[in-house]
Amino acid sequence: MTDSVAVSGSLRNRLMLTLIGGAAILALLVFFAVRNYAVQLAQEGQDNILAASATSMLDAATFRDGVVELDLPYSAFSMLSTAADDQVFYAIRQDGAFLSGYADLPFSESQMFQTDQVRGSDVRKISVSRTLIGANSRTEIQVVLAQTQDALSETLDRISRNAALLGIGFFALAAALSFWATAATIGQLGNLTTSVTRRGPQDLSPFAKPVPREMAPLVTSLNSLMGRLDQSLSQSEDFIAEAAHRVRTPLATVRSYAEATLQRVDKEENREAMRSMVKAIDESSRAAGQLLDHAMITFRADHLELEDIDFVDLVHDLVQRMTPIAEMKDLTLTLKGDARAPFSGDPVLVQNAVRNLIDNAMKYGPRESSIEIEVTAKDRPQVTVSDQGPGFPTDEIEILTARFQRGANATDTIGSGLGLTIARDVAAAHGGEVVLKNQTGGGACVTLSL
């Protein structure tokens, strides 16, 4: 069972939102920068035309014999013509006294250009003056010239639209680049994930492919973890093998002493006690052995040592080694089935599973009966072990492969409740299953498929 991983957001989304947010801010900055620069240039253009028109008016003023003569040139107004037919206002004063134009247009001393309102319209205004010197006197001519900004507003609207289109285009391009940059960056993590996923459980070698500098600490940590894990698994395997030897050997020694003592005891009550001792030792030895086998299978199931072997040869070799034990119990082991059943699997685990199935059949099969072992290679390799014993309790058949589960009819038989569990785990590690059923004529039938 895989523990669920605590997830907090998405690194891809965070990176993408950061890049797109930055692109949006830059797009706004581009829009305002372009628009403001265009406004400045357009305003300077209008101001230059206003200044040239006002200067041409001053140039037309002459001062003779104490009298100012002013003949406004046509060009002073023609240069102010626009496509929007902007209105033009002007006022001419001599020493502050109104001479011509619009009397309500005031002269400003504070600045040359300013934005103002004239008769309800926004205007751009310029105030200029010039001192005229005659033979015996001097006078100051003041010119105020103003123009509405309808044409300028239309121009600025077009510039704003173009600037907005430029900003949107820039944003779209930046967003596309953000998607690409995010995919390229996160893709490196995806490649690492794929590399880890594709590895077999037994592959704990370090990663050797080059990775970006930012991922180097992660890969280094993974390599260090796999190195420690490989060492820990090796130590666990050595411990299981050593524990199996240290547990089984003393029990076998004690059993031999108990059997020898049994032969020398005369009293029946003492002999019965010794028989109980031998039985207890057998139960302990079997339980310890199967517990260690189960631990070994649990360890190896996550990193199978696969080999291409023949299932028939493996079962045949196992049957030959178990035949003397079966003969001591007056049982016959019969092997039949296909001539060959090639498969790729862990021979140690598969042999352990089949041995437990045959051993179970030998425990529950009555004396002078036959145990049939059939190996076939139909859709997938499988072995079926059938005995002539009491069979499985019908109401418990679904739970008998669980650990330490024994049928209600097995109370008088030595066992630990792990034999079928071992077979089930081995089958599951090889993508197969174990199926229990009772034969029509009586007896149990167990099929292990790979």
Asked if residue 370 is part of any domain, the answer here is yes
Tell me, yes or no, whether 338 and 265 share the same domain.
no
How far apart, in whole angstroms, are the C-alpha atoms of residue 318 and residue 434? Answer: 19
User: Is 262 a residue whose pLDDT tops 60?
Assistant: yes
User: Is 422 a residue whose pLDDT tops 80?
Assistant: yes
pLDDT bin (cut points 50, 70, 90) of residue 158 is: confident
The secondary element (H helix, E strand) that includes residue 64 is: strand 61-64
* Of 193 and 444, more confident: 444
**Range of lowest pLDDT (110-124, 216-230, 232-246, 333-347):** 232-246
User: Is 233 a residue whose pLDDT tops 60?
Assistant: yes
Asked if residue 180 is part of any domain, the answer here is no
Which amino acid is residue 222, in one-letter code?
Answer: L
Tell me the mean pLDDT in the region 218-234. 81
Tell me, yes or no, whether 41 and 148 share the same domain.
yes
Query: Which residue, 303, 337, 369, sits at the end of a domain?
Result: 303
- Spatial CA neighbour of 204 closest among 237, 234, 236, 241: 234
User: Quick one: what percent of the chain has pLDDT higher than 90?
Assistant: 4
pLDDT at 6 (0 to 100): 66
pLDDT at 194 (0 to 100): 78
Asked if residue 6 is part of any domain, the answer here is no
**Range of lowest pLDDT (143-147, 213-217, 430-434, 441-445):** 213-217
pLDDT bin (cut points 50, 70, 90) of residue 7 is: low
Asked if residue 164 is part of any domain, the answer here is no
Asked if residue 134 is part of any domain, the answer here is yes
Asked if residue 218 is part of any domain, the answer here is yes
Tell me, yes or no, whether 316 and 450 share the same domain.
yes
Tell me the mean pLDDT in the region 101-114. 80
User: Is 271 a residue whose pLDDT tops 50?
Assistant: yes
Residue 345 belongs to domain with CATH number: 3.30.565.10
pLDDT, tens digit, for every residue of 367-393? 888 999 999 987 789 999 999 888 888
Asked if residue 442 is part of any domain, the answer here is yes
Is residue 116 classed as helix, strand or coil in its secondary structure? strand
| Average pLDDT, rounded, for the chain | 80
Tell me, yes or no, whether 244 and 267 share the same domain.
yes
Q: In terms of residue numbers, what domain contains 222?
A: 200-303
pLDDT at 313 (0 to 100): 92
Tell me, yes or no, whether 406 and 422 share the same domain.
yes
CB contact burial 348-380 (16+ within 10 A = b; e otherwise)? ebbbbbbbbbbbbbbbbbeeebebbbbbbbeee
Total domains present in the chain: 3
Tell me the mean pLDDT in the region 129-151. 83
Tell me, yes or no, whether 334 and 234 share the same domain.
no
pLDDT at 126 (0 to 100): 87
User: Is 5 a residue whose pLDDT tops 70?
Assistant: no
Tell me, yes or no, whether 246 and 108 share the same domain.
no
Tell me, yes or no, whether 108 and 210 share the same domain.
no
Tell me, yes or no, whether 128 and 204 share the same domain.
no
pLDDT at 375 (0 to 100): 92
CB contact burial 391-408 (16+ within 10 A = b; e otherwise)? bbeeeebeebbeeeebbe
Tell me, yes or no, whether 319 and 297 share the same domain.
no
pLDDT at 386 (0 to 100): 92
Asked if residue 165 is part of any domain, the answer here is no
User: Is 199 a residue whose pLDDT tops 80?
Assistant: no
Is residue 88 classed as helix, strand or coil in its secondary structure? strand
Tell me, yes or no, whether 341 and 283 share the same domain.
no
Tell me, yes or no, whether 215 and 92 share the same domain.
no
- Which residues are CB-neighbours of 364 under 8 A, at least 6 positions away? 387, 389, 390, 410, 413, 444
Query: Which residue, 124, 157, 190, sits at the end of a domain?
Result: 157
